[in-house]
Chain A
Amino acid sequence: MRQLLCEVRRVREVAENVYVLSFLSSEISGSVRPGQFLNIKVSGGSDPLLRRPFSVYRTERETVEIIFNIVGKGTEILSRRRPGDLLDVLGPLGVPFNLDPGSFETGILVGGGLGVAPLPITMSQLRASGKQVITCLGARTAGQLVTEHLENVQVATDDGSRGYHGTVVGLLEQIIADRRPESPKIFGCGPTPMLRALAEFALGNGLLCEVSLEGPMACGFGICQGCPVELSDEKGGYALMCKDGPAFDVRTIRL
């Protein structure tokens, strides 16, 4: 974990209201692992005050990419950053997905909306370790789907404008029933209701599943204690999303 000033390369719109920002940092691109995140100060001064957390979307040589949609002031400012601007980046942060190659054969990537964020970097590593990959992506409409840098992609849309008409978890159920992938492990990211449905499906069918969570946090490395995740353990208690996650085995948490 380092605090770095990084030069912005560019911001491109990859789908309706969806942006990919790339910046230069060989330190981050060389050390980040799939599922880890960065906590970024989008501008100087106190408005917005806190950093904003983003999964690493993709790396290529010394370039690092994040993906976001404009949901507030912070992301609005980020979308307007110009090439050459400096970005105050803290990272890489958090516990990555467990991609231990011994524990599964087929990686199934499941992303809902901007939950696509950690999937391209995860796919790169899965392919590098010789795994099969199936990708299931869901969005409200076809225009919001981001399928770049992903392989073997199946899509679902809420309005049926492309692919499976329904949720991405519905699509996943169908794919698992049809293809019966060998020794699968699911890696999911998306809104909490989707992750809840995904966890329920995985637990109900005895499938390995990790999810990457998103939520409000201040520091990103454990000192503010602001991002509790309820543990499923009978004794209860909380883990911290930023430090104990953002990737969690669905058996260990209550969504």
Chain B
Amino acid sequence: MQGRTRVRRTDHSTLTMPVTSFTLKGHRFKNRVLVASGTYGYGDDCADMVDVSQLGGIVTKSLSLKPREGNPPPRIVETASGMLNSIGLANIGVERFITEKLPFLREVDTSVIANIAASTIEEYCRVLELLEAEEGIDGYEINVSCPNVREGGLSFGTSRPMTEEITRRLRPLTEKALIIKLTPNVTQISEFARAVEAEGADAVSVINTLIGMAVNIETRKPVLSTVTGGLSGPAIKPVALAKVYETFRAVKIPVIGIGGIMNAKDAIEFLIAGATAIQVGTANFVDPGAGIKIAKGIEQYCTDHNIADARTLVGSLDAETGVSVLDSWL
């Protein structure tokens, strides 16, 4: 921020701390920054390095009914300001999650969202039912949009009737927050958001990774074993912002913004574009404390701009009266 005429200066000593929490389906998240599924394991791997209780929430690695080994190597490659991955939903399965990982997560003072992936609708339901019987889970994020698993995954997420059907079948199974994670690999993401809203979803996560590819020009082979993978990181941030904005304007349920968020400035852009909360993904691989820094950065921004509650940022984009002239090109 260059901070010129429009920024009101405030005597911070007289201010109380800005409110950065939010509530979804009756559950209070301590701040608006969660860590994205598949980028933080089950939380325990990061806990000896950072204080994970300072996060607004942890979204678990996708859980399937049976453990999944994942795809053969190579599974990742760095691309321009981003990375491609084709992990293939490698996970320990819902039963081991419950016995080995959930006890740790119960002890951490942050919200826990269980992310569920499956290859049939029945499997989605079964995993949710198994988790629903346990203490310590505050909501569910449904992965209908993994680009790297042929059965299930993206084939659900790119079909609106299937996405609707999954939401319709899961909705009666829980009173907790039901969040559908949407894929950007469709013509109009807002149509999918509207569809799941109509089926009773409490929020949508926007976006999952974009399908991408890299080629080794010496061997003329794809770099990833599965040829294509999911693109993430700063490279996709402008796309993600546009999808969040589109979705925000189409639905009344909260939009959780995801895509290339590396710092508080990125996160605040998403809030302004319409995200109620955001998830930090690829940035965790570089800095497992990124989410905590971003949460503090949002709080600082609110303090600096005399914003009492970060809620007022959400969807505050002023797209009507011309573009910003304050942005510095240099």
| Chain A contacts to B: CB under 8 angstroms | 1-3, 41, 46-51, 215-219, 221-230, 236-238, 243
Contact = CB atoms under 8 A, between A and B. Distances in A.
B75 A223 contact: no
B85 A226 contact: yes
B234 A49 contact: yes
B234 A224 contact: no
A39 to B, nearest CB: 9
A223 B46 contact: yes
Interface residues of B, number: 36
Given A216-B73, A224-B87, A238-B70, 5 more contacts: A1-B48, A46-B262, A49-B286, A222-B41, A223-B41
Given A3-B49, A224-B39, A236-B69, A49 B233 contact: yes
Contacts of A237: 69
Interface in B212-239: 233-234
Interface of B: 38-41, 45-46, 48-49, 61, 69-78, 80-83, 85, 87, 90, 233-234, 262, 282, 284-289
Contact of B83 (A49, A221, A228, A229): A49
A215 B74 contact: yes
A228 B286 contact: no
A48 to B, nearest CB: 6
Given A46-B81, A218-B285, A223-B284, A228 B70 contact: yes
Contact of A219 (B69, B90, B285): B285
Given A46-B81, A237-B69, A238-B70, A226 B76 contact: yes
B173 to A, nearest CB: 28
Contacts of A46: 81-82, 233-234, 262
Nearest to A222: B45
A3 B287 contact: yes
A247 B80 CA distance: 30
Nearest to A50: B78
B76 A216 contact: yes
A47 B39 contact: no
6 contacts: A3-B289, A49-B78, A215-B74, A223-B39, A230-B72, A238-B70
B282 A49 contact: yes
Contacts of B72: 228, 230
What does DSSP make chain A's interface, helix, strand, loop or mixed? loop
Contacts of B262: 46
A216 B262 CA distance: 21
Best-buried of A221, A223, A238 by chain B (most CB within 10 Å): A223
B287 A49 contact: no
Given A219-B284, A238-B90, A228 B85 contact: no
A227 B234 contact: no
Contacts of A216: 73-78
Nearest to A217: B76
A252 to B, nearest CB: 16
A41 to B, nearest CB: 6
Nearest to B77: A216
A23 B71 CA distance: 37
A50 B285 contact: yes
Given A3-B287, A46-B81, A227 B75 contact: yes
Contact of A223 (B73, B76, B285): B285
Contacts of A230: 72-73
Nearest to B67: A237
B229 to A, nearest CB: 10
A163 B40 CA distance: 48
Contacts of A238: 69-70, 90
A237 B90 CA distance: 10
A48 B73 CA distance: 21
Given A225-B90, A237-B69, A48 B289 contact: no
Q: Looking at A47, A50, A225, A238, which has the most chain B CB atoms within 10 Å of its CB?
A: A225
Nearest to B48: A1
Nearest to A88: B287
A41 B257 CA distance: 26
Contacts of B46: 221, 223
A2 B61 CA distance: 23
A208 to B, nearest CB: 26
A47 B80 contact: yes
A124 B143 CA distance: 49
Contacts of B77: 216
Nearest to B225: A228
A243 B90 CA distance: 15
Contact of A41 (B39, B83, B286, B289): B286
A49 B282 CA distance: 9
A49 B81 contact: yes
Best-buried of A1, A47, A221, A226 by chain B (most CB within 10 Å): A226
A229 B90 CA distance: 13
A58 B77 CA distance: 28
Given A3-B288, A46-B234, A225 B70 contact: yes
Contacts of B85: 218, 224, 226
A217 to B, nearest CB: 7
A47 B285 contact: no
A48 B75 CA distance: 18
B49 A51 contact: no
